[in-house]
Structure formats: structure tokens, C-alpha cells
Structure 1
Amino acid sequence: MQLMLHSHPRIAVPPETRFLLRAYREREYFGDLRVPENRRSLAEWIVGRKKTRFRDLGLAPREIVDEIVAGPPTLGSALGIVFRAYARRFGKPRWGDKRPAYYQNINAIMRLFPDAQIVQLIRDGRDCVGSLKQMPWYRHNSYHAISTWAEAIDYGRSAAARLGPDTFYQVRYESLIADPQRELTALCDFLGEKFDPAMCEPREVADVAVPKRKTWHENTHGAVTQSTAGTWEKRLAPWELQLCESALGSRLRDNGYELSGAESPPVKHWLRYTGTATKRRYRNRKRSTQDMLRRMREPDDQLPCRLPEQQRPGTSEHA
């Protein structure tokens, strides 16, 4: 999806940047952004912090720092300046960002970019669990992976009801790879853009928009294929399939996925899953409550992006 959108002549979507959420959570550290030196500290943090992926954007750090210092005094503006510069690198007026963890932070994204359009890509939860098991960077177990998919579906359902069809859009992965032109045409209608056939050939931009170190994304360098659907049949152990279908059954069915009819999982696996899911819910609620308390004592005008360009046709500019 990232590459398909990046293939559009008007939209740029970079590799995962990993500085947006951290900047939001640590915003108090940078102080009042109406002070130029505070904006400079924020800018230096964005371009210089080792754990972010700024270097993957191919941008000049000093130029970005100067642009942020000269820009509007809000966190959303500072972050938007980075993405705008990335889009400018390709001569495009619109930009987006992709990261799986955004599903838990849609409220934060909307505070930073009130006119954003959110696109959620939904894949068969069993395939998601099987895929995560293959990832060299994934450090959790299958209980966490199953909980992650359940959360993503629940957060997405809530966001769809809250934000409405002009702001929130869902795409089914299996439908996308089966008929890219149909699904991307519908997505472009949502974005207010005209479909471009180049979007169906994302491999053409993979060398530019996928860092070489991400070897687990090697499939992005090939043609769109349906071979990645249904891989759970080979990747999941019997108990993992049983647990997936027991824990995710109604969510799978609601999103058009047929169940295999697997038996109930052994009690020990069900207990470990429910324990993991409960702990995750507690952490999510704690983080949400802490953020709510922080927002009660900060000015409302310190967050929203104030960049003057308009990207969303008729309103503003964030894909």
C-alpha cells in the first residue's frame, strides 16, 4: 500500500519514519514551540536521533532544521515540514506516512493533523500472525501477535464510526492484490485524486522507497501477487490456528474471512492469550489516560499542523 500510494504522481509516502509518535509523546520536553530555540531543539532531535529513520528520507538535515525553525510554532507543523520536504524531493504536493502502530494512535494523529485522511489496510488475521513470526525484528510471541490484530480491528471500527467516511477508509488486503485497479480507483476517490495506472506497478518505486536493509520487504520488488494470501495454512502450528480462530473468529467473519473449523485451543494457550490481551488493554488505557491528563494542561494551539498548502482537495493536505 505504501508503494502503491507513492507511485501516484501527486502523493509521496516514505519508509517508516518512527519519529512522529515519539515526538508527540515527548512533546513536553521541547517546551513552548513559539520560542525559536525550542523549535531548533525539536528539529535537531528529529534529524539527529539514532532511533528515528530520518536518514532513510534522503533529505539534508541542516535544511530541514532551518525550515522547522522558520516554520509555524506547532508540533504538527514541524513534523509536516519533514514530510512536505520528502514529497518535494519527488515533485509531489501530497504526502502520507505509514506505520502499523498508528492504529493505536489515531486520536494523536488527528490532533497533529486535523484534516488527515486515514487509510486502514486489513489482512486476514491468521496471515498477519504467520507473517509476524517470519519477521527478524519481531520480538514478541504469537499471543501478542493475535492480540495486536484484534486491537487493530477494534480501534479501526471505533475510528470509522467516530471519524466518518470522508476521513477514514478501509481496504481489504486480499481484495487489493486480487484486483489492484478496482481497489485503488476506489481509494483514489476517497482521497479526492484521480487513479493512475502506475499505482498498480509498485515495484517500479521499490528501489527508491524501500531501504535496502529491509530484506523482509523483498516481495515489494516483484509484481503484485495473490500468493501471499492464505499463507497461514503453512505458517501456523495447529494450536496457533485454533487460538486465532477462537480469539478472532467474529472479527474474521465480520471482515469476510471464512474460518477453517479448527477445534478449540488447549486451555493453557487460551489462558496465556487472555492474560496477554488483558495486560495490553491495561497498558493502552493507561497510556490514553496519561495523554488525556497531559492535554488538559497544555494549550490547544501547540499541536495542529499549520502549513499553508492544501493537499486534501477542497480542505487541506494530508494523505
Structure 2
Amino acid sequence: MLHSHPRIAVPPETRFLVPAYYRRRIFGDLRVASARQALAQWIATDKNTKFRELKIDKDEYVQESADGPGSLGSVIGTAFRMYADRFGKARWGDKRPSYVKQVDLLLRLFPDAQFVHLIRDGRDCVSSLKEMPWYTLDSFHAVSTWAEAMDAGAKLRKSMPEDSYYELRYEDLTEDPTTEMKKLCHFLEEDFDQAMLSPREAAQVAVPVHKVWHSNTHGEVTKSRVGSWSTRLEDWEIALCEQVLGERLEAMGYELSGTEKAAKEHVLAFQKTMQKRRASRMRKGMRDRINRLREPSPVAALLTTGQRALAGIPQQRAETPLTERV
């Protein structure tokens, strides 16, 4: 729906932004053109980055990155800027559910970014995640994923400025897409466009055919999946969701079914899963804090007027102002 806006481009999930951030020290000082070239080459050619789904010229991207500003965010942002250029659009976005837990990292890369958190009933999210062909974990991890996302969102809601973080519910969006899209456009400081209500045309271009789990994007906005957890989850999964996610669900306006209590062994398995995932995040966070002390070059993108201003770089008179935000 956002990609249907005449000024906004949102590509498929690319999977190179976060890996590039954690690999940043491998490429050396990105103020050096050859280092930027090496990073861009990795982004454009590694089989796990999904760069090909942007459908931009690899060699042109590598050259523009080498010629561009000397920072990690600039090399990454150049790929998205070129994707937006494919459609003649001024702004770009990127989407991954896990980003809600990585906002600190993303702000380091794009300090003028705005964040949109689309929230859905946790029981429907667990149902959907379990059915994904690429999902290999169990129900306890699926439940933990939603709990972590809600906890992260609650922190962002309290800590981030109103013009930087926005929440909307999937159920409200599908119930009244016109109202919700107008509110979202107001947050983004963009004019609402009627094309946003009929995203199927954009989906034909922006959603890869092999992503069959996104097949609904090729039709009209639908409410058909709202509440479908009642037939897609097993009874024990519903009980577990409502017991361990109950407070979070109700806080976001979702009603509980009043099912029986979850089995103790299921609750214990969920708690152990949460503890392991939390410990893993803490270890990764500690490694990142250490790496921040040894960064060889700037991280923040220097592509937009806002980014350059935040970096203390004066606007050049001959430069065409870039007013878009990430």
C-alpha cells in the first residue's frame, strides 16, 4: 500500500541491511572508495542478500557507492535510492518484522528515519508464522517472537518522538483502509493518494512471484484473515497464547476467548525459549557495543539533506536539496 504512493518506494525484503551493519569492520575504512566498492560488491553479489530482487544494475550500484559519501549508511542507502529511482519516486522504505527490535541500529544508519509499526493480533501472527515455508522453529519461538515485538514497541512508544514512530493495527487497516492510510500519510507528511487503497497493481511489480505467502497482496485489501487463528491454531496453542500473551493482547485491544489454562509444561517451554532468546540478544548487543568502539569509519548515511545536517555538513549552494526521509 505504501509502495502504491506516487512518492514512496518499498521493495521486497532484501536481507542485506542488518548483515552489512554487523560486517562493517570487515571492509575497513569506508571513507576510502575501494572499501565502499568492496562492500557494495558484497551486497550486490552475495547469494543471501536478495539484492537481485531490487532489479537495479549491479555494476552501476557498485560504481555509485564508490563515488558516493564515505559511510556505511550511504552505501546501503544508495541501493534503496536507486530502487526508488526505478519508479521515479523521491522516498524509500524498507520492511522486516524484526526491525522493531533493531531501531537503535537503524537510527545509527539513517538518523532521519521514520518508523511504522504494523501490529496484528498475536494469535494470528503465530498462525501465519507457523505456515511460512521458510519457518523452521516451533510454536514456542513463534509466540516469543510476537511477545518480543510488543515489548520492543512499548519501549519505542515511550522513548521516540511522535514524528518518528507510528503504530497502526492490521485489523483497523483492513476494516477502514481509507482512514488508516490518511492518518499514516499525515504522519509521513505526505498527501494521501487514492492508489494506496488498491495496491494490487503495485504488487505485480514489487512482490516477487516466488513469495507465494504474499499472494493476498495481489488482490483487494481483505479482512478474511482477521481472527483466523481460531481455526488455524491447535487448542493447546490458543491456550498458551492467551495465557502468556494475554496482557499484551488486551493492551493492544484484542479480546481473549476465555479458553482453559495452558499446560504447565507448555508455559515452562515458552519461558525457557524466551530466556534463551533474551540471552542471545544480550550477547549480540554486547559484541556490537564493543565493535562500536573500534569502528574505522562513519556509520550514518549522508545522502539526504536531513542526514547531512545531522552530521554537521553544510548544504552546498550548487547541490539540489534532497528533502526526502528514509
Taking structure 1 as the reference length, the TM-score comes to 0.95
Q: Residue 303 of structure 2 corresponds to which residue in structure 1?
A: 307
The separation in 2 between residues aligned to 1:168 and 1:315, in whole angstroms, is 22
Among 57, 68, 73, the residue aligned to 2:65 = 68
Q: Residue 232 of structure 1 corresponds to which residue in structure 2?
A: 229
SS at the partner of 2:29?
A: coil
Conserved? CA contact 1:115–1:317, under 8 Å:
no
* Cα drift, residue 310 of structure 1: 6.0
- Is 1:179 aligned to residue 179 of structure 2? no
The separation in 1 between residues aligned to 2:170 and 2:197, in whole angstroms, is 14
Conserved? CA contact 2:304–2:322, under 8 Å:
no
* Cα drift, residue 84 of structure 1: 0.4
- Is 1:51 aligned to residue 42 of structure 2? no
Return 5+ residue gaps in structure 2 as ranges: 308-320
- Is 1:165 aligned to residue 162 of structure 2? yes
* Cα drift, residue 289 of structure 1: 1.5
The amino acid of 1:318's aligned partner reads R
Among 198, 202, 210, the residue aligned to 2:199 = 202
- Is 1:257 aligned to residue 264 of structure 2? no
Conserved? CA contact 2:120–2:170, under 8 Å:
yes
For residues 251-290 of structure 1, the aligned pairs below 5 Å read 251-290=248-287
The separation in 2 between residues aligned to 1:315 and 1:226, in whole angstroms, is 38
* Cα drift, residue 16 of structure 1: 0.4
SS at the partner of 2:2?
A: helix
Are the structure 2 counterparts of residues 6 and 287 from structure 1 closer, same or farther at C-alpha, using a change threshold of 3 Å?
same
The separation in 1 between residues aligned to 2:209 and 2:278, in whole angstroms, is 35
* Cα drift, residue 316 of structure 1: 4.9
Conserved? CA contact 1:11–1:96, under 8 Å:
yes
Superposed structure 1 runs of 4+ greater than 6 Å apart: none
Among 142, 147, 152, the residue aligned to 1:145 = 142
For residues 75-94 of structure 1, the aligned pairs below 5 Å read 75-94=72-91
SS at the partner of 2:275?
A: helix
- Is 1:27 aligned to residue 34 of structure 2? no
Conserved? CA contact 1:116–1:317, under 8 Å:
no
The separation in 2 between residues aligned to 1:151 and 1:268, in whole angstroms, is 21
* Cα drift, residue 238 of structure 1: 0.6
The separation in 2 between residues aligned to 1:30 and 1:315, in whole angstroms, is 28
The separation in 2 between residues aligned to 1:23 and 1:159, in whole angstroms, is 24
RMSD: 1.5
Are the structure 2 counterparts of residues 310 and 295 from structure 1 closer, same or farther at C-alpha, using a change threshold of 3 Å?
closer
Among 305, 315, 324, the residue aligned to 1:317 = 324
The separation in 2 between residues aligned to 1:283 and 1:256, in whole angstroms, is 30
The separation in 2 between residues aligned to 1:316 and 1:108, in whole angstroms, is 22
Conserved? CA contact 1:77–1:304, under 8 Å:
yes
CA deviations over 1:180-200 (Å, ceiling 9, x no partner): 010010000000000001001
Q: Residue 315 of structure 2 corresponds to which residue in structure 1?
A: none
Are the structure 2 counterparts of residues 309 and 59 from structure 1 closer, same or farther at C-alpha, using a change threshold of 3 Å?
farther
SS at the partner of 1:6?
A: coil
The separation in 2 between residues aligned to 1:156 and 1:290, in whole angstroms, is 23
Conserved? CA contact 1:18–1:53, under 8 Å:
yes
More displaced stretch, 286-295 vs 52-61 = 286-295
Taking structure 2 as the reference length, the TM-score comes to 0.93
SS at the partner of 1:302?
A: coil
* Cα drift, residue 265 of structure 1: 0.7
- Is 1:293 aligned to residue 290 of structure 2? yes
